Amino acid sequence: MPHATSTLAPDVPFQDHWIGTGLGRVLARRWQPAGTDAATRAPAPIVLLHDSLGCIALWRDFPALLARRTGRAVIAYDRPGFGQSMPRSGALPLDFVEREAWEVFTPLRTQLGLERFAVFGHSVGGGMAVHCAARHAAHCEALITEAAQAFVEERTLAGIRQAQAAFADPAERARLARYHGERTDWVLNAWISTWLSPAFADFSLQPALAQVRCPALVLHGSEDEYGSQAHPLRIAAQVAGPAQLCLMPGVRHVPHRERAEEVARRVVDFLQACPPAAQ
């Protein structure tokens, strides 16, 4: 049954769904704002893709806030191995960012009946969102990237090494375990081992960016500890569709937590400004 838990938008109920994928079941949560009906021709839902240590719960109140401000359904899901989804084992494939668009996002679209959608990805989820917009170009109405990495940069690797040292503290690991439980070691190792591997050094969004035809909003904090402004500049320059670049002064790696209302407002303004074909 629907519930309402947000403090920023307490009147936005949500419904949980289990999605079957080749990597096991994943949990998806859909926030449906008041006055809309998932069965009618409402504006395209916004699908959120989380970061390397994220999950539905770590989006906190942002999905409900975004649903309330945009008047659109918002869907977030725990990627395989994260949050409440089925555990994973072993190393991530080197093309895991690209694979998300067909291994998980395709069955999610099918099982939730998403003929049209907008996609919003944070950090590595931003790269996944690019691939979703590229692979499902005929159905994607808008792309929003937030603190996304377009390539492997030394600043990104330095940030990961610092986080690796911080998570050596059992207290830090315990905080993450509140969200991932028995999956915590795998979640950390998947992030750190993949990005620090020399075999991953050639990662780039460039081929997928050229296939993104929908309007794009590119959000990035000026103080992002996991990526310089070279990332949003590259994303905005290389997508095939129109792009709006938004550099946020004084903001670090998680704009939707640091300045939730501002991010939501920018998303609203962007979606309202999209041409009729993208609505």
**DSSP state letters, the chain:** --B---SSSTT--EEEEEEEETTEEEEEEEE--TT--TTS-PSPPEEEE--TT--TGGGTTHHHHHHHHH-S-EEEEPPTTSTTSPP--SPPPTTHHHHHHHHTHHHHHHHHT-SSEEEEEETHHHHHHHHHHHHTTTTEEEEEEES--SB--HHHHHHHHHHHHHTTSHHHHHHHHHHHGGGHHHHHHHHHHHHHSGGGTT-BSHHHHTT--S-EEEEEETT-TT--THHHHHHHHH-SS-EEEEEETT--S-HHHHSHHHHHHHHHHHHHHS-GGG-
Give the predicted TM-score (pTM) of the model: 0.94
Residue 216 belongs to a domain with what CATH number?
3.40.50.1820
**6 in a domain, yes or no?**
no
**204 in a domain, yes or no?**
yes
Q: What residues make up the domain containing 42?
A: 14-278
**151 in a domain, yes or no?**
yes
Q: What is the pLDDT of residue 41?
A: 64
The pLDDT tens digits of the residues spanning 110-152 come to: 999 999 999 999 999 999 999 999 999 999 999 999 999 999 9
Instruction: Kindly give the parts of the chain with pLDDT less than 50.
Output: 1-9, 277-279
Q: What is the pLDDT of residue 277?
A: 45
**273 in a domain, yes or no?**
yes
Q: What is the pLDDT of residue 274?
A: 83
- Total number of domains constituting the chain: 1
Q: What is the pLDDT of residue 278?
A: 41
Q: What is the pLDDT of residue 100?
A: 98
**232 in a domain, yes or no?**
yes
